[in-house]
A and B are shown apart, each in its own frame.
Chain A
Amino acid sequence: MGKTKEISITINGEVHHSEVEARLLLADYIRHEADLTGTHVGCEHGVCGACTVLLDGQPVRACLMFAVQADGHRIMTVEGLAESPDKMHPLQNAFWEAHGLQCGFCTPGFLMSLIPFLDENPHPSEEEIREALSGNLCRCTGYQNIVDAVAMAAKAMHA
């Protein structure tokens, strides 16, 4: 065991105080300490994108940061997207409508990468969408339905 450190992280608007070892990854902190299991852990070396969360509004790999580094920062996870359990975010809705997922393991990472992308690119071309998706891996859909979902979301969000 290494020495522990006290940290406080705001996740989806709620402040979490914990005492953690420095080697605890942010992804594992979110899942095991904050009990928010929507953030998934895939490759654990920054390639698959399943653990993508927003750090102060920008997408980052939660497996490539230590929880202690997020001390005093704001994190947003997939649980922070929907307004309420029965009112999904337009991006989530579009993934549902366009069948942009099959097993769903990669979906939280896709959603968190796409939120800032659609903010900065309200009317993306298909090429821009494909480039934006390149940092997240999906092994089920073949991506076509994800591309459709993003185009649908862009229309719905910026009509």
Chain B
Amino acid sequence: MKPAPFEYFAPDSLEEALELKSEHGDEMKALAGGQSLIPAMNFRVAQPSVLVDLNRIGELDYIEERQGAIHIGAMTRQSTVEKSKLIEQHAPLLYEGMPYIAHPQIRNRGTLGGSIAHADPAAELPVLALALEAEMQINSKTGSRKVPAKQFFQGYFTVDIQANELLTEVILPRFPENTGWSFQEISRRPGDYGMAGVAALVTLEEGPKCSKAKMVYLNVGDGPVDAVQAAESLSGATLDSKTIEAAAIIAAEKDIMPFGNIHASVEYQRHLSKILTERALSQAFERAQEQL
């Protein structure tokens, strides 16, 4: 057996899980889809002494539309999100990004909440959540709070969840009007970690005039990287290939902070990010224009 021994709980309800969390705190790791935690345990990089398995909590598996906002239970499988008509209709950016997450065999187990709570800088879901300005519903035995994605992601594998808390739901606000979207990623092979990737949204006021742009990047920083300066340069700008290229250069040179890795040097990650930004903004712009 590879993982170190641990005490195992598999509660049927959220209430029981939160009770266990309040009792065990930091010693206890929550097991969602296990597609990151179990490999770490197999190599004994992670050796939690207590595991609370959330997979039997059916009440955390749902996708619902409420007044235009989409509420997704934290234990909803990635493959369920990927195939959801509601997501396709109300969160097209998320829908477009889902197939980039690893392979179908992984998405069949991996969960939406698990990946977001794990906050791997190379993962797609934290990027998509930040781009869509998602809110995280966090619960403990004694309380409940909502945290905007911007505050939720706090750096390298770090999020705003306390030892006695669990992420229970992800809320996507109503998709804005006159807004186009695009998700672009380049990896060595389909399903591999992206060497760079971007989720982009473009909102048009009228004609080619952009009222708001948002670009969030993967694997080029210590978490999902929001290109604030590049987005600012597009606010109020008339979009064309020149303004798009200028913004892409700002994003690639100023906003992102790539570390480089065995697959891609820092320079190459910047190069890819620039190209992908241009592609993403052009596609998002086109899609926004179709809605005017």
Contacts and interface: CB of A to CB of B under 8 A. Distances in A.
Contacts of A113: 104-105
Contact of A44 (B4, B42, B105): B42
B238 interface: no
A96 B203 CA distance: 54
B105 A60 contact: yes
B30 to A, nearest CB: 14
Interface string A98-121: 000000000000000100010000
A44 B38 CA distance: 9
The secondary-structure label for the interface of chain A is mixed
A68 B1 CA distance: 14
Interface residues of B, number: 30
B190 interface: yes
Contacts of A25: 1-3, 38, 42
Contact of A135 (B10, B42, B55, B104): B104
A52 B1 contact: no
Contacts of A60: 105, 108-109
Given A45-B39, A65-B109, A135-B106, A22 B34 contact: no
A21 B191 CA distance: 32
A25 B191 CA distance: 23
A25 B10 CA distance: 16
A52 to B, nearest CB: 6
Nearest to A113: B105
A134 B105 contact: no
Interface of B: 1-8, 10, 34-35, 38-39, 41-43, 51, 53, 55, 79, 102-106, 108-109, 189-191
9 contacts: A3-B8, A23-B41, A25-B42, A59-B108, A60-B108, A64-B34, A64-B39, A68-B10, A135-B105
Top 4 closest A-B pairs, CB basis? A135-B103, A22-B8, A45-B39, A2-B5
